[in-house]
Structure 1
Amino acid sequence: MKRVIQSLTLSAALSLTLGCAAVGKREKFTFVPDFPPDFKYELTANYVPAKGQTCTVPGGKGTQLGFNKVYMEYEATSEIPLYRTVSGCPLALNRVEVEVTGIFGPERSDRSTDYAAIAVRPELLERQMGTFNTDGVGEFFGECQWAFRTVGPKRYLIKLLTCKRMDEQGNIARGRPFTAYTLTQLPGKTVKLKIKLAGEELPGWGDTWVKVPGGWKRCMGKGIEDQRGYCNGNYKDFSSFRMVDERICTIYPGCTEDKDETK
């Protein structure tokens, strides 16, 4: 009889453990980035009082969860809880902000960021809702464009990132990458953000670079220290510029100058 009771107790404990694990799994979804090389992400999950709740969180403290922040170890994917309780107030996920960061050099300043978002609501119109395949994976899409410019009296080349919403067929739309789901859609699912890099990098703004075979040449402007350096009709006088690895170049991105030859 004692063995029977012990067996039943063990079974109950095991069932409870598995049940709690299943509930935990169902109360989260997984974010998966599908990015070009040298791209990373950070996430901020924002929570609001759950539907029907009238409570508030003092000062809003604890209504956000961060993932892959600078003080955290980088994770390739993120498991995002759908519900939390803070200061006794039941909260539900409302929005996920995704920082999409492209890296073009070794220093922390050699990177640029744009944003994507996932909206999460108790209810949505059917036409507004994202969908999932039979494996429980939903996808949304974006195209990111590098724009280059020079800064400083030595004209160091830096790059700025802009990301636009894209549909599954590759058509670019207005706004940043975005999708939306209901709270009941997301438990146990995977949401993947697929980012494509535009085929050609472009100048940060017009009349500062001239298109030539192999890339672009930087207009001289009024002189090497002229920060704006507009061409203003002068398409014969160009300046060199420096890459983040200190190479001195005259054409971007077709720079073939050897670093040792430019010292």
Structure 2
Amino acid sequence: MHIQHFTHQCLRAVCISVMAWAVSGCSLLQTESFNFQAELPENFTISATTYYDAASGESCPGHKVIKSDQPKGTQLIELKLPLTEKVKGCSRVLKSVVLNIKGRWGERELDMSLQKAALYIRDEPTETTRPFPASGPLVFQGQCQWFFRTVGSRRFIRKILQCRALDANGIVQKSLAGGSMLRDGLAGRTVKLVLTEAKEEEPAFGDSWVKFPAGWKRCMGKGPDDFYGFCYGKTTDFVPFKMPDGRDCTVYPNCTE
């Protein structure tokens, strides 16, 4: 009986040790990742493609993993992105995260536009590498701008999305939304991308529309069938166009003057 009792105690101790090791192992694995958050305008979705490369001294090829879109209608998402991974014995480290942004501007399935943002993980600091704050998330600001244009002989309105980084003063930059950060200190931290939507839409081709108090008018260009319809300095010759719902309009976005 004493031997049986002792055996039970040993088995119990081993089980507890194994469970403790498993929990400890999980917590260690968790520190080898970081949290990515995205705050999005209405009717926007985002997904992340993570790119890994061979760790120093290894010759295994690179690898990528695609993360799925957030649930429909969710404007604040969160993904846990591993900083390392091992595939078939090869150790890989996270090098970059490409963020695929989809914005919807209409009710039809094709009434959407795609744009990208990116996060880069650096091993050494550069001029553009952002330092981590003492507490809280590392935030990258960006602004998405809608550009409108007409397509086809009937001049239907279509929209193009462009998302660019914002500097500390809120000035739109030429670079894509996102930025770079150091690998050291990234584990366990939160990186957040905050995207806003520009209040006003702009023409995709600046010299093909003229702005009036009632809205934008589409220049005729060389004639009603001119694909681009550049104004060429003329601000009196305009052509009608069609909204996505089929309405014939003379000014955008108000349709009528």
- Give the structure-1-normalised TM-score: 0.83
1:84 paired residue number: 85
Query: Aligned ranges for residues 1-263 of structure 1 at < 5 Å?
Result: 1-51=6-56, 53-57=57-61, 60=62, 63-68=63-68, 76-124=77-125, 128-135=129-136, 137-255=137-255
Aligned-residue CA RMSD in angstroms?
Answer: 2.6
CA distance in 1, matches of 2:246, 2:88: 52
Counterpart in the other structure of 1:261: none
Q: Which amino acid aligns with 1:18?
A: V
Of 88-97 and 226-235, more deviation after overlay is shown by 226-235
Give the Cα–Cα distance (whole angstroms) in 1 for the partners of residues 223 and 68 of structure 2.
Answer: 42
Inter-partner Cα distance in structure 2 for 1:127 and 1:226: 43
Stretch moving more, 247-256 or 121-130? 121-130
Q: Are 1:130 and 1:179, in contact at CA under 8 Å, matched by a contact in 2? A: no
In 2, Cα distance between equivalents of 1:26 and 1:103: 36
Whose Rg is larger? Answer: 2
The DSSP-based 3-state class of the residue aligned with 2:176 is coil
- 8 Å Cα contact 2:157/2:244 also seen in 1: yes
> For each residue in 1:126-164, what CA deviation from the matched residue of structure 2 results, as whole angstroms up to 9, or x when unmatched?
9724314523x1111112221111001111111112222
Aligned counterparts of 2:144 and 2:243: Cα–Cα separation in 1: 21
Name structure 2 gaps, 5 residues minimum: 1-5
Structure 1 segments (4+ residues) deviating >6 Å: 72-75
Q: Deviations over 1:49-69 (max 9, x none)?
A: 112x23122xx5xx1111236
Secondary structure of 1:181's counterpart equals strand
Residues 131 and 138 in structure 1, CA contact (< 8 A), matched pair in contact too: yes
Distance 1:242 1:17, change over 3 A: farther
Identity score, percent: 33
Amino acid at match of 1:13: V
Shift in Å, 1:124: 2.4
Would you say how many aligned residue pairs link Structure 1 and Structure 2?
249
Q: Secondary structure at the match of 2:196?
A: strand
Structure 1: runs of 5+ lacking an equivalent: 258-263
Change (3 A) 1:148 1:48: same
TM-score, normalised with respect to structure 2: 0.85
